[in-house]
Amino acid sequence: MKTAIVYDTSHGTTEKVANMIASFNSSIEIFNLKENKNVNMDEFDQVIIGGSIHVGKIRRRVKEFCLKNLDKLLQKRVGLYLCAMNEPEYENELKLAFPEELRNHAVIKKVVGGEFLFDRMNFLERFIVKKISGINETTSKLDEKGIMQIVDEMGLRSM
């Protein structure tokens, strides 16, 4: 089973999660959509797609990737994850982030928490985060158990 992880990240947390998942198997290939939008889907049996939520929305490149590759993705095993910090909204954010068909098809879909990395934010981002969350210092709330569920559901430990 050949596996790709495809992601986009703003401050690096979605990338961190991609690397955590990939650390379980050396054959996994990782694609940062900022650097490479043209992933050759024919090379992979399963694809994990990761994105993050900023002001209620998934990052544009992830949305575009899912729509552009929807037909091919529906023929593969798919895992979906999101990095986000507003826990009461997780289910809703997941629904809005990925197309319904893809969500229904995915073997796992999870919000794995996230991080507020103040040293990587610009002035406006700091302002927004303080306003919507009340938090004003670097905070990490990654759900390691959730990440392990993705690893296991995608069969990555045993490959």
Ligand X SMILES: Cc1cc2nc3c(=O)[nH]c(=O)nc-3n(C[C@H](O)[C@H](O)[C@H](O)COP(=O)(O)O)c2cc1C
The only residue of 41, 121, 148, 159 in contact with ligand X, by rule CB under 6 A: 121
Angstrom distances, CA of residue 37 to CA of 6, 55, 57: 9, 23, 19
Which range, of 24-32, 54-62, 70-78, 145-153, touches ligand X by CB under 6 A?
54-62
- Which residues in 100-128 are b (16+ Cβ under 10 Å) and which e? eebeebbebbbbbbbbbbbeebeeebeee
Nearer to ligand X, 43 or 124 (CB): 124
> Tell me, what amino acid is at 59?
R
75 is written with which tokens? 């023929």
Nearer to ligand X, 115 or 143 (CB): 115
Q: Does 143 bind ligand X (CB under 6 A)?
A: no
Q: Does 86 bind ligand X (CB under 6 A)?
A: yes
Which range, of 22-30, 41-49, 71-79, 85-93, touches ligand X by CB under 6 A?
85-93
